[in-house]
Amino acid sequence: MEQTTSPKYARVKQTAHIPTTVLGQGALKAFPNAHRVSEFFDLNTLCPILEKIDPDFADPQEVTVKPFSGGVSNLTAQLKAGEKTLVVRRAPPGKKAATAHDMVREARVLKAVRPHFPMVPEVLHVEEDPDILGTCFFVMEHLDGHVPTSKLPVKLGPDQAKALCENLFDLQAALHSVDLEATGLSNLGKPEGYVERQIQGWSKRYRDARTEDVPKAERVMEWLEKNRPEEAGAALIHNDFKFDNVVLSPQDPTRIIGVLDWEMATIGDPLMDLGASLAYWVNRDDPPGLKAMKTQPTTVPGMMTRDEVVARYAERTGRTIEDFTFYYVYGLFRLAGIAQQIYQRYTLGQSKNPRFAAFGQAVGILIQQAQKEIREYENRMNKETQMTELLTSRAFRLDGKVAVITGSSRGIGESVARLFANQGAHVVVSSRKQESCEEVAESIRAQGGKATALACHVGEAEAREQLISQVVEKLGRIDILINNAATNPYFGHILDTPTSMAEKTISVNLGGFFHMSQLAGRAMREQGGGVIINTASVNGVSPAQYQGIYSITKGAIITMTQSFAKECAGDGIRVNAVLPGLTETRFASALTENEALLKTILPLIPQGRVADPAEIAPAFLYLASPASSYVTGICLTVDGGLLA
């Protein structure tokens, strides 16, 4: 057994025992079965050891135990005898020898690092005999101060908050600047290939732990693998460096006096360490979902933004950091992996903590933020080329895109399919009858286009799901969805609308559009973006007489379009609608072939005629193409001036 002398005694003042924010310290770091703390830290067994550190801990009856919110991989407790306090850290019960060995490793890291980085708590004893507590453990000093969580322990002004923020990352920069060779710390890890190991390791862990209700994240993993930078050098890294792992001075809450939780410390790429830290760093202008997960006091006035943190770190280390996207995306994905592993254990019943039930949602938010960062990075890298092409005919090209068009065996849908194929898209012709779809698809292929025929009744859930899964399986992706299939089985007074016809119209026109948008939208979210276009109608704005239920569903589609547009923009999905006027199709033949009705309708249309489907299709092309890259949530009317 190891022993040290001249211990320091102090008290850590926790500002919150178990915070309740999603992915908060209390969630990721919940002490299991707190009522069994005396079992986890058996004083009758511990006190003979603690007595050798300080005689005041000799009598178990005079020692109290209080659990701290230690990591899920290790448990930490405060042991107090009178005014003196010690900290004991151990592996959870039931863990295998490998985890216990990690416990000993952490203690050795603390002892090795402390002479060169004085913010490390002093280790007073390391116990490698697992029979004493059922696992290895170590004893260390307490540091007198505050451990901040989602809120600061005291209110700070903007200047103080900025100073604290600067001190935090100056300290991380100092850690990364420790001379590994001069201090003999180079043997704490293997820096060669660190970035590659992290990306491949977290990708495997995420795939192994993934549940059906969280994103596949394949695009994030592929992007990280393809965009791996050269190693930024070898440094001593903490791997969990953030506010709730530091201790603030009670006299000056802007001054950091200690850094805790070194169990993941190693030798690796310093920018990866900074990226892992910034995954927890929420800006004041971040999306609501990300702010709901805030576990650090990073949004108080005066706190630096992520970009400002990177700039400060670069200044302090002398590094040139041209773009930090890779490291931040890595940090987000790593945190998603950590949360997903916990969430999987919860779904399997291996963990009962109710807070873990929200972790699946948290994983989705983190992956969404990673996708957003990737998309914005790619836009920055490609902006010059993209903007140049917008001023050419290529602005309307759909080369390489996969477009699913429902109701495309005739009418407006068929015209859209033919136009899209002409502009380079691989179109999926879909309608209720396979032979009708195949006829159009074959015609497109005969003209040199790419087309696949897949029948689908959009009013049926199983058919919708099969269509989307087949497209993804056969063609690899969905870039564009045109919700065009519709029905209008009743023409007559709204009060006399048969229930069956009302329900059928709602099921196809509204339910079909909504669920198809959901299914395709989820696929688009996984791949980083896409386009959804809904065929609404001028009737949705100005209801036509004797077309009540049809007009109602088309009006609802307009609202649905706007709702999807607002919520899906953050996923890189644009959602718009086209509102055709009276068009020469079989669908509208009850109107276009009725001369008496036409005589009353045509005078209302300034252009005085019925549209051809080919005149409607270009509106869809505009909304599907790069030409409308800054357009979402609009309703594009093509009606010969009817609604003017």
Give the residue numbers marked as catalytic: 550
**Closest C-alpha to 74, from 126, 41, 31:** 31
- Residue 565 has, within 13 A of its CA and on its CB side, a CA count of 20
Amino acid making up residue 628: S
Residue 403 bridge partners (DSSP): 427, 480
Structure token digits, residue 43: 């004083």
Distance CA 94, CA 75 (A): 12
Alpha carbons within 13 angstroms on the beta-carbon side of residue 223 total 23
Torsion over CA: 557, 212, 288, 222 (sign): negative
**One-letter amino acid of 398:** L
Query: Quick one: CA torsion of 451, 455, 458, 460, rounded to 10 degrees?
Result: -150
DSSP state of 36: G
Which tokens go with 629?
């890259």
CA proximity to 328, closest of 206, 456, 224, 432: 224
Residue 145 and residue 250: Cα distance in Å, rounded? 5
The encoded tokens of residue 83 equal: 């005014």
User: How far is the CA of 528 from the CAs of 157, 170, 214, 317, 478, in angstroms?
Assistant: 40, 35, 15, 34, 11
DSSP 243: G
From first CA to last CA, the distance across the chain in angstroms is: 88
